[in-house]
């Protein structure tokens, strides 16, 4: 018999969450335990990582299967005479100025996997926006509000983030190599698990930046 409670515990979830939550938890934990991120000369740690990946795969597959079976056996609600359609979520406008989106309001917008390379989003509002796996190479985000945004695995290579607000955003798996973070605010930003930093910042400029722990980088 499948122990669903154990599967939820493996993924750090509570029963009743959505399939989307299961998938996201799985991705986050696989990123933590991926053998390529651990010292190759540490055999014990490599073996433990392999076991964890195997257990994570099993837990995800069992919970997905459970959700699929539950959906098939759950009766569909009767059709209603009156339905309400939620207004469409805003999308990046087709701006006549080409790459210039400075000052645009994308608060809470789903921009996952979008290609915004070299766009000018200076002083734009991207708070709580979903930028998972977005391609933001050399983007201009100077002074932009990215508080609470999800930048999981985003490519921010050589991005301009001078004085940007990155408070409480998720930067796990992001690549900030060569980015200019002069004066940026990263207070309480999520950059890893425990003592393990999972953000790539090779060559990043951090002069005057407020770091996740509240200290100021000199």
Nearest to 161 by CA among 207, 95, 94, 92: 207
If one compares 32 and 152, the residue with the highest pLDDT of the two is: 152
Residue 57: pLDDT over 50: yes
Q: Which helix (H) or strand (E) holds 196?
A: strand 196-197
Q: What is the pLDDT of residues 87-129, one digit of tens each?
A: 444 444 444 345 788 998 999 999 998 889 899 999 999 999 9
If one compares 60 and 33, the residue with the highest pLDDT of the two is: 60
The pLDDT-based confidence of 75 (bands split at 50, 70, 90) is low
Q: What is the DSSP letter of 126?
A: -
- Cα gap 167→40, rounded to integer Å: 34
pLDDT at position 94 is: 44
Q: What is the pLDDT of residues 180-197, one digit of tens each?
A: 999 999 999 999 887 788
Class of domain 99-218: mainly beta
Exposure of 19 by Cβ count < 10 A (0-12 exposed, 13-18 middle, 19+ buried)? middle
Kindly list the distances between the CA atom of residue 193 and the CA atoms of 171, 196, 197, in Å, as whole numbers in the listed order: 11, 5, 7
Q: What is the pLDDT of residues 194-207, one digit of tens each?
A: 778 899 999 999 99
Residue 66: pLDDT over 80: yes
Class of domain 4-72: mainly alpha
**Quick one: what percent of the chain has pLDDT higher than 70?**
86
Q: What is the DSSP letter of 192?
A: E
pLDDT at position 74 is: 57
Give the residue extent of every domain in the chain.
4-72, 99-218
Residue 36: pLDDT over 50: yes
Mean pLDDT of 144-167: 95
């Amino acid at each position: 018999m499948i122990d669903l409670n154990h599967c939820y515990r493996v993924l750090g979830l509570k029963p009743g969450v959505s399939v989307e939550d299961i998938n996201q938890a799985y991705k986050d934990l696989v990123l933590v335990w991926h053998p390529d991120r651990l010292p190759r000369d540490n055999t014990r740690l490599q073996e433990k990582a392999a076991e964890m990946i195997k257990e994570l795969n099993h837990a995800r597959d069992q919970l997905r299967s459970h959700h699929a079976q539950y959906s098939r056996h759950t009766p569909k609600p009767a059709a209603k005479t009156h339905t309400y359609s939620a207004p469409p979520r805003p999308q990046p406008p087709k701006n006549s100025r080409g790459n210039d989106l400075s000052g645009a309001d994308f608060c809470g917008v789903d921009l996952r996997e979008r290609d915004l390379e070299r766009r000018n989003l200076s002083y734009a509002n991207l708070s709580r926006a979903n930028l998972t796996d977005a391609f933001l190479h050399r983007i201009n985000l100077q002074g932009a509000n990215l508080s609470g945004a999800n930048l999981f695995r985003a490519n921010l290579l050589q991005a301009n983030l001078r004085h940007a607000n990155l408070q409480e955003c998720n930067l796990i798996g992001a690549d900030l190599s060569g980015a200019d973070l002069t004066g940026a605010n990263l207070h309480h930003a999520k950059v890893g698990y425990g003592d393990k930093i999972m953000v790539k910042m090779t060559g990043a400029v951090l002069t005057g930046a407020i770091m996740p722990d509240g200290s100021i980088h000199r």
